[in-house]
Amino acid sequence: MTLHTEPAQPQSRAASSASPVPVLPVIAIVLTVLMWASAFVIMRWAATDISPGPLALIRLIAGSLTLTGLVLWVRRGKPSIPRGKALGLTIAFGVSWFALYTLVFNWAGHFLDAGTVAMVVNLAPLMVGIGAVVLFKEAFSRRLFIGMLISLSGVGFITASGATGQLAWAGLVIAFAAAVLYAGGMLLQKLVLRDVDPLTATWLGCISGAAALLPFLPQTVNEVSEISTGTIIGAIYMGVGPTALGFWFWGYAMNHFATGRVASATLAVPAVVVLMSALTLGELPPLLAILGGAICLAGVALAQMRQRRGE
């Protein structure tokens, strides 16, 4: 903090002029990071017990029910439904992010450890930055370019792990596809939020995603009788926690802090995932993948940094 020379003032006035960091938004960010990190670990843990489609459907049904309750409570029983183009974009956002991303995300867990999946998926913010330049004509900053180069070098290390047989190539391709879908969902969300509030967009998006996954309903019914109770509880938790409460808490934090400051917190997710995975599953990514993931996240962090004037 920079100190400024000012006339002496009464202590009470100086204390009152201070701007303490709000506690609840910080707690919201911490809880969201923990919940999102836990989703990677539970996905990997459940991979041997349930197929990607049924896991995604159970998660989104649980999330839709939770979000419906939240919307009815917050809106006092009178939810606002967008119409026309806004509704169409919201449905597209839900299908791409909640349905397709969740499905591919679960699929990646059948090939890779949770930490590697988290590191690859967290390339999404960098992809969003590139997409914003292409689709929304935002400025292509020097930081974004350098961040891209750094992250690409990190991808090279992760790819090398696949070339040496330490990681499954199929898993790396699937995880990268999940990152692309994640980024596409975020870009669609940016369009949706021009006309729809965050809670309503998340609610309708989750319902749209659940509806898109209904073709997996027969398979889900068949597998439910065979999978463990723990897996079902884990799938429901992923819907209630990371999907519903996570996005709600995230939106709450976004209303109290700058977007870039909140978004940078997602860079902690892979590290938390690696720690959780090591403690609960006894899994660690290969050393090359850890090194590559750290480099990738450094590039993403640089690309997300706010530019100073003159740069």
pLDDT for res 5: 38
Coil, strand or helix: which one is 50? Answer: coil
Position of tokens 């890779």?
A: 112
> CA 61 to CA 207: how far, in whole Å?
8
3 state SS for 217-242: HHHHHHHHCCCCHHHHHHHHHHHHHH
- Res 306 pLDDT > 70: no
**Do residues 59 and 238 make contact, with C-beta atoms less than 8 angstroms apart?**
yes
Residue-wise pLDDT for 261-304, tens only, equals 666 677 788 888 888 998 999 988 888 888 888 888 888 777 76
Give the pLDDT score at 49: 93
| Domain boundaries of the chain, sorted by first residue | 25-304
| CA 99-236-120 angle, 5° bins | 50
pLDDT at site 11? 46
Instruction: Work out the mean pLDDT of the chain and round it to a whole number.
Output: 83
DSSP of 67-94, one letter per residue? HHHHHHHHTTT-PPPP-HHHHHHHHHHI
| CB-based contact 208:99 (threshold 8 Å) | yes
Assign 223 a pLDDT band (cuts: 50, 70, 90).
Answer: very high
